[in-house]
Amino acid sequence: MSQTVDRALTILAALGEGPSSLEQAANRIGVHKSTALRLLRTLQEHGFVTRQSDHRYRLGGRLFSLAQQALETIDIRQVAAPYLASLNERYGHTVHLSVLEDGKVLHLDKAQSRYPDWPGPRLGPDGRFGHRAPAVASAIGKVLLADLPDDQLTAFLTAQQAGGQEIGSTADFRAELAAVRRRGWSMDEADGPAAVGLIAAPIAGTEGRAIATCSISAPAYEASTAELSRLVPELLCTVEAISLAYGGTPTPRWCENRCGAKHAERASRT
């Protein structure tokens, strides 16, 4: 049974890259076309796969429905949404909500920038939620990694190296993460007119550890590195407010006098 499930999941992953013929699906999982056909028909019966008029198969609507339901049950997205919108309204830059999943940064939500000629970082090929990016190469990822327990960070680094991900010296990377954790935020600097700068800070969960990040990004021609850096207090205020609303235990910063979020009135999660 586990082999059948593995084959079905492999087919779904392949279809995520685009429609496939029966022969292509069979080749992907290394089975005869009759075996692949049985799997595809079962997936089709449950709505996970649809057969097109050209006889190729693509992902079905049931899969997208389940994915959307799963995202909607992640309450941090619902809690954070008004704070992301508020930060976006004040400055016009793109604001992201992201988490760490399977060693990669998963973008859950965003408030789009107001620049008419720049769409901002997209969440996926069609701007959909769920796009994943390597955690070691971005300020967002480093903020999330910086708050991992040491054993989890060690396991992560070991897996990254085994997978061929270049991180340089492990000791240097750990030192960089330690600096990020002490500072409370991280930055990707824009190194050219067309480059994108980004600042990210952690959202604390109920145990005080980072469960997500909020980030602000902008192209260099709209906000220089220095200009983006000046928004760090506002970003820290925002993650403080989200943490309080979520029921976490963040370190007090500027929240009360900037956002109006009061530590004594922290909301409890339901």
Confidence of residue 264 (pLDDT cuts 50, 70, 90): very low
Confidence of residue 104 (pLDDT cuts 50, 70, 90): confident
Residue reference for tokens 């429905």: 65
Res. 263: pLDDT tops 50? no
* 156-181 pLDDT per residue, tens: 888 887 877 777 788 999 999 999 99
Q: What is the mean pLDDT of the chain?
A: 82
Q: What is the mean pLDDT of residues 99-116?
A: 84
Res. 265: pLDDT tops 70? no
Bridge partners (DSSP) listed for residue 133: 105
User: In Å, how far are 7, 81, 121, 153 from 111, measured between CA atoms?
Assistant: 37, 8, 11, 30
The residue that leads in pLDDT, 114 or 150, is 150
Res. 16: pLDDT tops 70? yes
Three-class secondary structure of residue 210 per DSSP: strand
Per-residue pLDDT, 117: 56
Per-residue pLDDT, 62: 86
Per-residue pLDDT, 167: 78
Res. 260: pLDDT tops 60? no
Confidence of residue 3 (pLDDT cuts 50, 70, 90): confident
Bridge partners (DSSP) listed for residue 218: 197
The residue that leads in pLDDT, 128 or 12, is 12
Q: How far is residue 129's CA from residue 151's CA, in Å, rounded to a whole number?
A: 30
Res. 268: pLDDT tops 50? no
Per-residue pLDDT, 193: 62
Q: How far is residue 57's CA from residue 49's CA, in Å, rounded to a whole number?
A: 7
Longest dimension (CA), the chain: 67
Amino acid symbol at 226: A
* 32-87 pLDDT per residue, tens: 999 999 999 999 999 999 999 999 999 998 887 777 666 555 578 888 999 999 88
Res. 9: pLDDT tops 60? yes
Q: Which tokens is 211 given?
A: 């469960």
